[in-house]
Structure 1
Amino acid sequence: MSQNLQYPPRFYCVYLLRSIAKKNSFYIGSTPDPYRRLRQHNGELAVGGADRTKKNGLRPWQMTLVVYGFPSKTSALQFEYAWHYAYQTRHIPVKKRIGTRNSGSSVHIKIANLKLLLSAHAFGRMGLRVAIFQKAIYDIWVVNRYNVAVSESVLLKLDFEENQQKLIEGGNYEQMKAFVKSLEKEEEDYFEISLEKLEENNTRKCCVCHRVVDQFEDVLGFCASKDCHALYHVQCWAEEMTKDVVSEPLSHSVLPLTPVKGKCVKCQKVNWWWPMIKNSMRLHQHFTEIGRPCIEN
């Protein structure tokens, strides 16, 4: 199993820009670094940006919404492309499509199509998250003019900029920097706590199959709850999460069926799949790099 692992990016997102000068102008893009990308769009950095965001009278831009939690750069780029061309993408059934090539510029249509994509078969199982940084965009999300239901697997994070004067001066740079740093800290804490839990676990048995785990050979999963010391073989936990789910296998997946979320067998708290599997892959990489210690005779 470990030979086929493909390590996900630490962070890659799809974003929605809004012109501060012309509030009806928007731009969809993707990036591993929202802070740097926003500076490129606003001309703070000489290299990069997009031609459309360089047009006179549109700068500065604010990053108003971010979709994140993608398992790969490729999946993020596919989502970005589908959002750009929502009027013709295969990920939205023809009967459900909202807007046309000429009418898709409305922010209400953009948000409606975003919700449709979040629930699409290809993206709905990723457990994607949405962060909104502008109250006006959140209001549009809530008004939901086209009555599009949002999948319960989508987590919504709100982080409104209180001092709007900062936006007038050139975009919400510090807000985006703080946002990414907070996510990095979450991942780092999860990783460090998982190492501590493994060190403190005397039996080191999987909570599903009850066999002893080997951190140098197995891919291990840890409950995200700080107070729970449950330990799993990732494959065992995936099978436990999906034992009552009927779905088509994902041919590109490491597992026969990729869960969205599931309860910890020990504490019964819900764990989201992709944060857990990203942590598991990082742990696997860590133990692969340090190698099994030699035992002297």
Structure 2
Amino acid sequence: MSYNLQYPPRFYCVYLLRSIARKNSFYIGSTPDPHRRLRQHNGDLAFGGADRTKKNKLRPWQMTMVVYGFPSKISALQFEYAWHHAYRTRHIPVKNRIGTRNSGNSVHIKIANLKLLLSAHAFRRMGLRVAIFQKDIYDIWVVNRYNVSVSESVLLKLDFEENQQKLIQGGNYEQMKAFVKSLEKDEDDYFEISLEKLEQNNTRICCVCTRVVDQFEDVLGFCASKSCHALYHVQCWAEEMTKDLISEPLSHTVPPLTPVKGKCVKCQKVNWWWPTVKNSMRLHQHFTEIGRPFIKN
């Protein structure tokens, strides 16, 4: 089995805007920079935004929730389109669709369709995550008016401001900026710790195949636990993860090729595939750039 790994985007999300002036008005979009995108929607930047969000009677807008963890920009755009057109998307079976083209503006319907998409075959294998920034949106998520279950592969992050009122002027810019920075810091810490683990590892043996790992030739995988020094060939670990995959396969005859999550062979802690592979590709890029050191005879 072979895995063609492409470097995932640093960050790309699909978001749900809510008008502060008219709380029943919503907008779905996608962006690699939610802070800048929100400023465009609110007219703080001269260019960008969307025609539907330019009406003064709807401004300012606030980002209420984002879906993130997409392996590519294309997959994020596909998710955005499907959420926009939930009444007809192929990712939701006709019998399960909620709302129509004219009745899908309710936030209860939008969140129900979001849950359906998160569990769709094309998206549930991505290990997507959802962050909610407004408590009443979270309440709607929990109430679950249309009784839609969510795939267990979806992780939910809550990031409420204690005083929502202070966000009203111009939207929740600082909140979005801090959110993305916190994710970037987590990724940077994972990368730096992985380099330290590699430096401290004298044997450099893959925990699955027990062959020596070459950082200049192989794509390396590291357990996310700071105290665990397990080292893997990413392909070996991916194959091992699929053995313990806790989710349904794409069909009854074809097993999933890409894991969502799996246990570390050494410490038995669960690792999620998408942050693992992002870190692995960053390490691969790092070692490719510095090159194999030249040793004189």
Match of 2:16 in 1: 16
8 Å CA contact 1:126–1:260 kept in 2: the answer is yes
User: Which whole-Å deviations, capped at 9, do the CAs of 1:84-122 have from their partners, x for residues lacking one?
Assistant: 000000000000000000000000000000000000000
8 Å CA contact 2:121–2:250 kept in 1: the answer is no
Alignment CA distance shift 1:96-1:3 (3 Å): closer
In the TM superposition, what is the alpha-carbon distance from 1:2 to its structure 2 partner?
A: 10
Match of 1:103 in 2: 103
Q: Partners in 2 of 1:102 and 1:5 — Cα distance?
A: 40
Q: Partners in 2 of 1:39 and 1:83 — Cα distance?
A: 22
8 Å CA contact 1:16–1:27 kept in 2: the answer is yes
8 Å CA contact 1:247–1:257 kept in 2: the answer is no
8 Å CA contact 1:20–1:167 kept in 2: the answer is no
> Which structure 1 residue ranges, 4+ long, deviate > 3 Å from structure 2?
1-5, 244-249
SS at match of 1:65: strand
> Please, what is the CA RMSD of the aligned residues?
1.6
8 Å CA contact 1:129–1:157 kept in 2: the answer is yes
Match of 2:67 in 1: 67
Please, which runs of 5 or more residues in structure 1 have no aligned partner?
250-255
Percent identity for Structure 1 against Structure 2: 89
8 Å CA contact 2:115–2:148 kept in 1: the answer is yes
SS at match of 1:81: helix
Match of 2:289 in 1: 289
SS at match of 1:114: helix
Alignment CA distance shift 1:262-1:244 (3 Å): closer
SS at match of 1:242: helix
SS at match of 2:62: strand
Q: Are residues 1:275 and 2:275 paired?
A: yes
8 Å CA contact 1:248–1:257 kept in 2: the answer is no
Please, which runs of 5 or more residues in structure 2 have no aligned partner?
none
**Greater displacement, 59-68 / 159-168:** 159-168
TM-score normalised by structure 1 residue count: 0.95
Q: Partners in 2 of 1:271 and 1:109 — Cα distance?
A: 32
Match of 1:77 in 2: 77
* Residue type of the alignment partner of 1:121: H
Match of 2:226 in 1: 226
Match of 1:94 in 2: 94
8 Å CA contact 1:2–1:217 kept in 2: the answer is no
Q: Partners in 2 of 1:153 and 1:168 — Cα distance?
A: 33
Q: Partners in 2 of 1:183 and 1:111 — Cα distance?
A: 24
SS at match of 2:153: coil
Q: Partners in 1 of 2:3 and 2:66 — Cα distance?
A: 32
Q: Are residues 1:235 and 2:239 paired?
A: no
* Residue type of the alignment partner of 1:170: G
8 Å CA contact 2:244–2:262 kept in 1: the answer is no
Q: Partners in 2 of 1:193 and 1:2 — Cα distance?
A: 27
After the TM superposition, which residues 238-253 of structure 1 pair with which residues of structure 2 at under 5 Å, given as runs?
238-243=238-243, 247=249
In the TM superposition, what is the alpha-carbon distance from 1:244 to its structure 2 partner?
A: 5.3
Q: Are residues 1:53 and 2:53 paired?
A: yes
* Residue type of the alignment partner of 1:67: V
Q: Partners in 2 of 1:202 and 1:56 — Cα distance?
A: 63
Q: Partners in 2 of 1:236 and 1:144 — Cα distance?
A: 39
Match of 1:117 in 2: 117
User: Which whole-Å deviations, capped at 9, do the CAs of 1:4-59 have from their partners, x for residues lacking one?
Assistant: 54211000000000000000000000000000000000011111000100113100
In the TM superposition, what is the alpha-carbon distance from 1:247 to its structure 2 partner?
A: 3.9
Q: Partners in 2 of 1:15 and 1:184 — Cα distance?
A: 18
Match of 1:26 in 2: 26
In the TM superposition, what is the alpha-carbon distance from 1:149 to its structure 2 partner?
A: 0.1
Match of 1:253 in 2: none
* Residue type of the alignment partner of 2:189: D
* Residue type of the alignment partner of 1:100: T
Alignment CA distance shift 1:49-1:190 (3 Å): same
Match of 1:172 in 2: 172
In the TM superposition, what is the alpha-carbon distance from 1:163 to its structure 2 partner?
A: 2.1
TM-score normalised by structure 2 residue count: 0.95
User: Which whole-Å deviations, capped at 9, do the CAs of 1:226-247 have from their partners, x for residues lacking one?
Assistant: 0000000001001111135684
After the TM superposition, which residues 76-225 of structure 1 pair with which residues of structure 2 at under 5 Å, given as runs?
76-225=76-225
8 Å CA contact 2:2–2:235 kept in 1: the answer is no
SS at match of 1:131: strand
